[in-house]
Amino acid sequence: MLFSSISFMYYFLAAVLILYFAVPFKFKNLVLLVSSLFFYFYGEPIYTLLMLATTLSSYIHGLLIDRFRGRTLSKVFLWSSVITSLGALGFFKYSDFFIHNINNVTGSDISLLGLALPIGISFYTFQTMSYTIDVYRGDAKVQKSFVRLATYVALFPQLIAGPIVRYTTVEEDLSQRTHSFEKFSSGVTRFVIGLSKKVLIADTLGTLARTMHASDEASVVGYWLYAIAVSLQLYFDFSGYSDMAIGLGRIFGFRFLENFNYPFISKSIGEFWRRWHMSLGTWFRDYVYIPMGGNRVSVPRWLLNTLTVWFLTGFWHGADWTFILWGLYFALFLVLEKFWLNKFFAKIPRVFSHIYVCVLILISFVLFNANGMSGAIADIGSMFGAGGLPFWTSETGYYLGGYAVVLACAIFGATPALKTLVLKLKEHKTANMVLNVLEPIFVVGMLLIVTAYFVDGSFSPFLYFRF
C-alpha cells in the first residue's frame, strides 16, 4: 500500500486514526501493530511472516542476551542474532547476485533463485540489529513485551522506506507518550509537505529524467539535465517519504529523528553525507565504523575502515556492482578530502567547493540510477560527449523550457531559503499571525491538489521501496 494513494490516505489511515484515538492508551500499541501488519500484508502477504519471524528472533535474542549479561553466552547470543538477521537479508536480497557472479567466474550454470525482494527488509533488518546490539551494549533496556517490540519493528509510518529508527529513539515512547492537538497538526502539516514533495516534484522530475534518457536526440546538455532531474528526484522522493514518516510519527506520539538536512548546500562530500540519509550514515558509523576503530587508528587501518563502510553502504542499497562502485566512489573522495582537497578548498572561495560537490553528486546519482555497469559507463560518458554526442539539440531546449518552472522550484526547495524566511517572519507578531492563518489553508490546498493527481493516476511508487 502506497502512502501516495487514495486507499491509504482516505481509507486505511482514516480508519486507523479513528480506532487509535478511540481506545485507551494500553491498547494503542496493539492497534498500531495490527494496523501495521495489515498494511504490510496488503502488499507482501507471504513476507509478513518473514518480518514477524525476524522480530521474534530479535525478541528472543534480546531476552537471552540480557539473561546471560556479563557471561560468554551473552556475546554468543548477540552474534547469533546478528547472523540470523543478516542471513535472512543476504538470502532474499543477495542470493542471485552471488550466484550470478559465481557463474561468471567459474563458468558454472547454477540456476538463479528468482526471489522477490521483501519490501523494507533492508530497513527493518537494521532496526532489529540495532535493538539487540544496544541491549548487549547496555544502551537499551531489554523489551519484555513482544507487542511493544513488534510495534517498533512493524510501525507502518517508517516500515518500508525508513528512516532507520533505532529502538533507543522510541524506547520511552513505546511505553509512555503524549498526544496533543499541536503534535497532531504539526504531524499532518509535515505529512502533507512530504506527500507534495513526492507527488508534485519527484514524480514530475522522474518523467523528465525518463524522457531525457530515452531521447532520440540526445545531447551533452540533455544528459546533464537528466543527471539533475535524477538527483533531485531521488532527493525529493526519499526526503518526501521521510517527511511523511516523521509526520505520521508525530500524529501517533512518536519522535523520529530527521533524515535529511538540505544536503545539496554542502561544501564537501563528508558534509553531504552528514546531511543525506542521516539515519543510515549514523547507523554505519555507530555499528561498523567506530567498532572497527573509526579514525583513531593508523592511516592504513583508517583506509580499510573507510573502504569497508562505504563498500557496505553501497551494497546495502542494492545487489549490483553499480551500487558497490557508487559506495567506493564516495570513499575515494572522502579519502582525497581528508588528505588534500579540504585544505585546498579552504584557500579558495567557497563557491568552488560547492560546485565541486554538486558535480560529483550529479555523476554519482547517474551511476546509482544506471542499468548495470555498461549502462553506467554509457550514461556518464555521454555527460562528457563520448561517442561524438552533440552539445545541444532542439529537443533538449524544448524539455528544458517545458520543465523550467519545476526545476527552479526543486532547486530552490532543496535549499533552506524558504524555511529561513518563514522562521524570520514568525519572529514578528503580525507576520506570525498571518502565517498561522495561511498554514492550514496551504495544507488543505496542497492536499486537494495531490488528491487530484491520485484520481488522475499521476503518481508512482517510492524509489527506495526497491531497497
From CA 332, how far away is CA 70, in angstroms rounded?
40
Which residues, 6 or more positions from 113, have their beta carbon under 8 angstroms from its beta carbon? 95, 96, 99
> Catalytic pick from 61, 213, 277, 317?
317
From CA 103, how far away is CA 321, in angstroms rounded?
15
Assigned C-alpha cell, 134: 544496544
Residue in 199, 217, 197, 216 with CA at minimum distance from that of residue 207: 199
Question: Is residue 271 a contact partner of residue 236, using CB atoms and an 8 Å limit?
Answer: no
Residue in 226, 182, 202 with CA at minimum distance from that of residue 389: 226
What count of other Cβ atoms lies within 10 Å of the Cβ of residue 255? 14
Question: Is residue 379 a contact partner of residue 366, using CB atoms and an 8 Å limit?
Answer: yes
Residue in 140, 142, 162, 129 with CA at minimum distance from that of residue 288: 129
DSSP 256: P
> What value does the CA radius of gyration of the chain take, rounded to a whole number of Å?
23
Active site residue 277: no
From CA 171, how far away is CA 169, in angstroms rounded?
6
Q: Is 178 left (phi over 0), alpha (psi -120 to 50) or beta?
A: beta
Q: Is 114 left (phi over 0), alpha (psi -120 to 50) or beta?
A: left
User: What are the residue numbers of the active site?
Assistant: 317
